[in-house]
Amino acid sequence: MIWRKSTRADDEDIPLLTEVVGIADDPAQQLHQDRVEQEFQRLTQALTEQTLQRVAPLLEDALTDPLRLSIEERLQAMLPGLVDALSASIRADLQGLVQEAVTQALREAQQQLETNAQEISAGAGNTPHRL
């Protein structure tokens, strides 16, 4: 890389990158370049993680509070309708279950009455009648 000084008077001490020179075929330079690249990746990753750790609480407060409030508002608006719908559905289900249970109980009572009537009729023919 070739560096040159800035032409601005106030930036005189800050070097500027003006050209990127390709990597030579020298294996030692390639190894050095690989190490520099690995170190650069490590530093980049560390800097990214540190930045995220410092910015995350700020972002969390800035994003989660409005989001939470928006969700709460929508739920509060939807809740009465949802409760009414659930109540109607549960009421209909319970009514169906009660009707089914009553119908089954009536069938069983009818069958029991028929069985008792048959037993009485069969028993009346076997026992003598008193007059």
59-114 pLDDT, tens per residue?
Answer: 888 888 888 888 889 888 888 888 888 999 999 999 999 999 999 999 999 999 99
SS3 128: coil
| Inside any domain, residue 95 | yes
Question: pLDDT at position 121, please?
Answer: 87
| Inside any domain, residue 103 | yes
Per-residue pLDDT at 117 exceeds 70: yes
| Inside any domain, residue 22 | no
Domain count, the chain: 1
Amino acid at 20: V
pLDDT in tens, 48-57: 999 989 888 8
Higher-confidence position of 45 and 8: 45
| Inside any domain, residue 3 | no
Parallel, antiparallel, or unpaired: how do β-strands 2-5 and 15-19 relate?
antiparallel
| Inside any domain, residue 88 | yes
Most trustworthy range by pLDDT among 15-19, 42-46, 77-81, 83-87:
42-46
Residue ranges making up the domain that contains 96: 83-124
Binned at pLDDT 50, 70 and 90, residue 18 comes out as low
CB distance 4 to 16 below 8 Å:
yes
Q: What is the 8-class DSSP label of residue 8?
A: S
| Inside any domain, residue 92 | yes
Higher-confidence position of 92 and 5: 92
Output the six-digit token pair for 63. 């994003």
| Inside any domain, residue 104 | yes
Residues near 29 by beta carbon (within 8 Å), at least 6 away in sequence: 23
- Give the separation between CA 15 and CA 58, rounded to whole angstroms: 34
